[in-house]
Amino acid sequence: MNDPITKPRTRARPKILPKTERPRLHKVILINDDYTPREFVVTVLKAEFRMTEDQAHKVMITAHQRGVCVVAVFTRDVAETKATRATDAGRAKGYPLLFTTEPEE
């Protein structure tokens, strides 16, 4: 009789799993200036980085007092796109608002 439960004839070949390295993350950094209104900085942070009023206000004040503040970290493409869009939002209003990016250590 045919036994439906048969042993595999060959031993399973060990699978070679390539190491999956995480992409390096990049910081988006907000730079202080003397001209952009505080409330506008908060508006941009809320719109582009999905922050609450409270979070955005804290980041804005930190940049205002210390000169710079890390806004968030993303993969390189996302960080650069968001920094560019946020900087452009200021430029559209004639403000020198600046967001930069740099790789995390």
Which spans of this chain sit near ligand TYC (rule: CB under 6 A)?
Answer: 30-34, 36-38, 41, 60, 63-64, 97
In the complex with ligand TYC, the residue whose CB is nearer, 3 or 33, is 33
In the complex with ligand TYC, the residue whose CB is nearer, 1 or 92, is 92
Q: Hey, what amino acid is at 105?
A: E
CB of 61 to ligand TYC, least distance (A): 7
Q: Hey, what amino acid is at 31?
A: I
Phi then psi for residue 31, to 5 deg, are -105, 135
Written as six digits, the tokens of 96 are 């020198």
From CA 104, how far away is CA 73, in angstroms rounded?
Answer: 8
CB of 36 to ligand TYC, least distance (A): 4
CB of 101 to ligand TYC, least distance (A): 15
From CA 58, how far away is CA 83, in angstroms rounded?
Answer: 18
From CA 24, how far away is CA 87, in angstroms rounded?
Answer: 23
CB of 47 to ligand TYC, least distance (A): 15
